[in-house]
């Protein structure tokens, strides 16, 4: 297993993107995935830090290791004011152009069933976390995952693939395999969706919310009236989100 890091970021790259180091993960089998890594200011290996996995949407797929940061509202979670209170790592892998975080039908109005194996992209994203925990001092009790649209589906999928691994999840305008709700109860959820989403029906989030609640999961749900697909703009700017997220422990 090898991890490569770029010696420097582009001088023309705007803040705070300069703080997200460009890296490529490659496993022993030769599979690889590009990702960006935020390292908390004043990192001290004698301390343990939370880690956030961010999964982008379908329109940000590729191999440039830049487009996954296009919808950068999620960077609020490591912004200076939040980071001073809650220093953490943030990992943002980039899904290849022809792949997905979750194997979901293009007809998003239909429920999907979880395949036997995760997609290659999600498997590699999770392997990145494993590699980083060997490189840095990361708290296994404070792993978090969040994502939007395709990444919202991927957020639920990541929690299914590793039950109890993530302390908390923030899926935005996504959906899940409703039949597997009981397998998600080991993770705390705050689900977001726009009521007028024309891409991913809001019913996907409503459904899994009610099923999670019935299964005894720790779950919150916020729906934005009149908001379309880009509900992540409001979600990541929710005043209480950082306090809620970093309060979650396994």
**Residue 12 included in any domain:** no
Residues 200-214: tens digit of each pLDDT: 999 999 999 999 999
**Residue 60 included in any domain:** yes
| Half-sphere exposure in the Cβ direction for 83 (13 Å, CA) | 19
Residues 182-192: tens digit of each pLDDT: 999 999 999 99
**Residue 2 included in any domain:** no
CA proximity to 37, closest of 77, 60, 5: 5
**Residue 64 included in any domain:** yes
Read off the pTM.
0.93
For position 183, which CATH number holds? 3.40.50.1820
CA gap 188, 209 in Å, rounded: 11
Owning domain of residue 231: 37-246
Helical axes 120-135 vs 150-161, angle rounded to 10°: 70
Evaluate whether 129 touches 51 at the Cβ level (below 8 Å). Answer: yes
Structural domain count of the chain: 1
- For residue 133, give both structure tokens: 């925990």
- For residue 20, give both structure tokens: 């997200």
Q: 17 or 214: which carries more pLDDT confidence?
A: 214
**Residue 24 included in any domain:** no
**Residue 9 included in any domain:** no
| Half-sphere exposure in the Cβ direction for 77 (13 Å, CA) | 30
**Residue 143 included in any domain:** yes
């Amino acid at each position: 297993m090898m991890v490569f890091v770029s010696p420097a970021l582009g001088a023309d790259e705007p803040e705070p993107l300069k703080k997200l180091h460009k890296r490529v993960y490659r496993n022993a089998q030769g599979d690889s995935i590009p990702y960006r890594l935020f390292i908390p200011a004043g990192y001290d290996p004698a301390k343990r830090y939370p880690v956030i996995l961010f999964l982008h949407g379908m329109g940000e797929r590729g191999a440039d290791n830049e487009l996954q940061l296009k919808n950068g509202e999620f960077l609020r979670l490591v912004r200076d004011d939040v980071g001073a209170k809650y220093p953490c790592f943030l990992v943002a892998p980039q899904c290849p152009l022809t792949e997905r975080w979750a194997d979901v039908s293009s007809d998003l109005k239909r429920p999907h069933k979880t395949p036997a194996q995760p997609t290659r992209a999600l498997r590699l994203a999770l392997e990145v976390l494993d590699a980083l925990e060997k490189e840095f001092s990361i708290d296994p009790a404070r792993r978090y995952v969040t994502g939007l649209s395709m990444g919202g589906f991927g957020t639920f999928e990541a929690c299914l693939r590793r039950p109890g691994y993530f302390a908390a999840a923030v899926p935005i305008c996504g959906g899940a395999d409703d039949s597997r709700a009981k397998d998600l109860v080991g993770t705390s959820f705050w689900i977001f969706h726009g009521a007028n989403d024309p891409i991913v029906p809001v019913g996907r989030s409503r459904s899994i919310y009610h099923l999670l609640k019935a299964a005894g999961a720790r779950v919150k749900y916020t729906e934005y009236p009149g908001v379309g697909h880009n509900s992540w703009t409001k979600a990541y700017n929710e005043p209480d989100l950082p306090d809620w997220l970093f309060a979650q422990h396994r």
